[in-house]
């Protein structure tokens, strides 16, 4: 069976591991140049080729995977002057970014007449899971398009859940991130409050770890809190704020109250506003501690 040609845009923290699994499992791969050359050169050494623009990448691909920051970047890659659509050919585009569902659905409708099918396949877990090929992937799209993309997604995924039509993957991803980022905000405040009352993070952890409130996210968060491991959960606070802003937009669009979401968003907005946007999410604990006069 001849494998389809895969294009990949966004070989950053998550995308590099995903792309390495794709090329390592025998898919012909083209990646687009990136300001950080190290992952691009690594993938080229593994057998990938490189394109200079989305249009050039589209010309060499049948399926294109996007793993970028959010909807503005996705729209530029698809519809920019030298974007994927400018190649004038049919494509299946799989958006693994965390994007605004309303924008995803609009783009899918606009691109369909040109023969471009857009499905959303956002990710859960960490860059380490991307390298290991064990990501969780939520896929929204027409069943036939999802079936076509599935073998490629399986190259970097441990679990794949079909959530419904295009846009539902990004909706589910925002709900998933609401839970995880909500945990982060609560952990940070609980730790600061405990410290104010004389409880150390070690005592806090001795009670929570192994109990009903323990979970995988707690464990990676506390690798920073206790061990100061900067690689424990490499997801920037500013991206957390972006995702919570998308969640607020989603709540507004469906007419749903979202008071806890607003509180979580404000925690991340405060961290970004005080200059910590490039810190990783577990470092929110330090930001909240510092604001409460704790070191």
Q: Which two tokens stand for residue 38?
A: 């190290």
User: CB–CB of 194/290 below 8 Å?
Assistant: no
Q: What are 30's strand-pairing partners?
A: 7, 49
Alpha-carbon distances, residue 273 vs 224, 241, 287, 292 (angstroms): 22, 11, 11, 16
A 10 A CB-CB count for 77 gives 26
* Rounded distance between C-alpha atoms, residue 290 and residue 189, angstroms: 11
CA 46 to chain centre: 24
Single out the catalytic residue among 3, 44, 173, 223: 173
In angstroms, rounded to a whole number, what is the distance separating the alpha carbons of residues 246 and 248? 5
Length of the chain as a residue count: 295
Compute CA 18 distance to the chain's CA centroid, rounded to the nearest angstrom.
12
Report CA 210 to chain centroid distance, whole Å: 28
Asked about 242 being catalytic, the answer comes back as no
Q: Which two tokens stand for residue 18?
A: 């995903």
Site of tokens 């895969």? 6
Q: Coil, helix or strand for 93? A: strand
Q: How far apart are CA 241 and CA 174, in angstroms?
A: 11
Hey, CA dihedral for 233, 47, 10, 151, is it positive or negative? Answer: negative
Catalytic residues: 173
């Amino acid at each position: 069976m001849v494998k389809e040609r895969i294009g990949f845009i966004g070989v950053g923290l998550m995308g590099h591991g995903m792309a390495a699994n794709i090329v390592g499992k025998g898919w012909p791969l083209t990646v687009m140049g990136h300001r950080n050359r190290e992952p691009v050169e690594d993938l080229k050494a593994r057998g990938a080729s490189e394109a200079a623009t989305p249009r050039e990448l589209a010309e060499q691909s049948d399926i294109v995977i996007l793993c970028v920051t959010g909807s503005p970047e996705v729209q530029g890659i698809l519809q920019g002057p030298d974007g994927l659509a400018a190649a004038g050919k049919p494509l299946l585009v799989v958006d693994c970014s965390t994007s605004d569902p309303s924008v995803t659905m609009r783009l899918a409708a606009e691109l369909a007449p040109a023969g471009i099918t857009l499905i959303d396949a956002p990710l859960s877990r960490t860059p380490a899971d991307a390298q290991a090929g064990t990501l969780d992937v939520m896929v929204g799209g027409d069943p036939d398009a999802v079936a076509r993309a599935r073998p490629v997604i399986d190259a970097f995924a441990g679990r794949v859940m079909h959530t419904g039509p295009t846009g539902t993957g990004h909706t589910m991803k925002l709900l998933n991130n609401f839970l995880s980022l909500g945990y982060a905000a609560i952990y940070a405040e609980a730790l600061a409050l405990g410290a104010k009352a004389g409880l150390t993070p070690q005592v806090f952890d001795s009670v929570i770890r192994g109990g009903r409130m323990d979970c995988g996210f707690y464990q990676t968060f506390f690798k920073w809190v206790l061990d100061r491991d900067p690689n424990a959960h490499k997801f920037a606070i500013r991206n957390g704020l972006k995702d919570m802003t998308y969640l607020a937009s989603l709540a507004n669009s469906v007419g749903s109250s979202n008071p806890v979401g607003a509180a979580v968003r404000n925690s991340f907005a405060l961290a970004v506003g005080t200059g910590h946007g490039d810190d990783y999410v577990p470092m929110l604990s330090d930001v909240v501690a510092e604001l409460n006069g704790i070191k």
